[in-house]
Amino acid sequence: MDKEDIIQKTIAFVREELSEAEGGHDWWHIKRVWKTSQQMAQKENVDVLVVELGALLHDIADAKFHRGDETIGPAKATSFLETIDVDKSIIDHVKNIIEHVSFKGGNFERTFSSKELDVVQDADRLDAMGAIGIARAFNYGGFKNRLIYDPEIPPKLNMTKEEYKKSTAPTINHFYEKLLLLKDKMNTNTGREMARKRHDFMEHFLEQFYNEVGERFFFQTQ
């Protein structure tokens, strides 16, 4: 099976699997990450097939929607890729990308590294920034029935992986606990360049938000 057939079969599989997914983690999120990964791969020295498969399958079973079980996604992706006879070395690499791509609070040591993971992780993080990142954050907050904002619940910085997974904080807090941290966690030069404008947009949004609610602009106090 040639590369294009592998990609098209993977797209069909992902679209079916995520047909009822939450709006911030659905096929359209996957497609954006995939397209951004393709764009970045043109500027980075990577295995393009591994990057594309990693991007397409990175959220095939996001642990936050499966009771925190981080084994389901890698297992599901592996099983699918085996059915279309993808080379084992590629499957193993994609599996490692899926296992290590998530933010998880940002305070953990990565036990696997590759240029392909760097690209997919940057593309995924870029989709959590800027206008689309803002839309996704509030969509997920609504999905989880979280408050938009509560000045009596300040953001909790430097959370552990477990604290991050269990957090039920208002959506505005998520900007300080993750989204505004992403610019400085980009792996690639391409990712860093793309992140700047999206980061600035989020800062401007927050400034306007705090002006409208009549509260101090938290970011400016840091």
Q: How confident is the model at residue 222 (pLDDT cuts 50, 70, 90)?
A: very low
Task: Give 82: exposed, middle or buried? Use CB within 10 Å, 0-12, 13-18, 19+.
Answer: exposed
The full set of domains in the chain, from first to last, is: 3-221 (1.10.3210.50)
Average pLDDT over residues 143-166: 86
pLDDT score at 163: 80
- Say if CB 194 and CB 124 are below 8 A apart: no
> pLDDT (tens digit, 9 = 90+) per residue, 14-24?
999 999 888 88
Q: Could you give the C-alpha distances from 35 to 23, 41, 104, 123, 127, in angstroms and in order? A: 18, 10, 23, 9, 11
| Region class of 22: left (phi > 0), else alpha (psi between -120 and 50), else beta | beta
pLDDT in tens, 27-52: 999 999 999 999 999 999 999 999 99
pLDDT on residue 159 = 79
Q: Which residue has the tokens 């039920």?
A: 168
Over 70: is that where the pLDDT of 134 sits? yes
For the record, the structure tokens of 78 come out as 């592996």
